[in-house]
Structure 1
Amino acid sequence: MSSLQTVGRPLDTACCAPSGPTVISAEDARRTALVFKALSDPNRLRLLSIVKGEASGESCVCDLTEPLELGQPTVSHHLKILVDAGLLHREKRGTWAYYSLVPGALEETAGLLASL
């Protein structure tokens, strides 16, 4: 038997057609993983909680270092990951950056697993 065949069937031939719902696309899987990877760090979860809890709806980076007991470069790194994941919006004002939740981002994130 050839190394490209098993039990009389070539290896590149599918044994059957998919019968279930459509599989998540590679791009959707990449995007979903990016969001969950961003949420997998306790400090980033705390940052989201702090920003969400602000009465004004936004937080200055200068106010986020003390609650986390982390340096400004570390906090900025975590915030960048949350921005890149589409969870936070960043607005630069002078020397400071202000962060707010992207409208609907938390609701969309909550629905990601249900869509699998």
Structure 2
Amino acid sequence: MPFDPQSLNYDANGLIPAIAQDALSGDVLMMAWMNAQSIARTLETGRVTYWSRSRQSFWAKGETSGHVQTLREMRIDCDRDCLLLLVDQEGPACHTNRRSCFYTALRQGEEVEILKPMEG
């Protein structure tokens, strides 16, 4: 049976959280929002496209930075209200020039930086 993006459980704004994970290393890279149209675009093109809540528009990851995410596989959680995107990431995934948006950790009650910006 063909997949229908409308079969997912979106929030009141028509959005669903999508977690991008490096397909090879397993590193969690980022979280962003998608809607039915951005999911359809991603599946059609193979390039991950999100919905920007601040700009109220689509953004294909890497369209301005060159740090493209290519979809390997899309997974749907058991409640159909969250997506896991297994991706090939070119360069940093975070706008801070880090490999992952999750670059701070709480350790012994302190917030510490665990990833430095990438060189180049």
Larger radius of gyration: 1
Question: 1 or 2, which has the higher strand percentage?
Answer: 2
Bin the TM-score by the shorter chain.
Answer: under 0.3
**TM-score, with normalisation over the residues of structure 2?**
0.24
**TM-score, with normalisation over the residues of structure 1?**
0.25
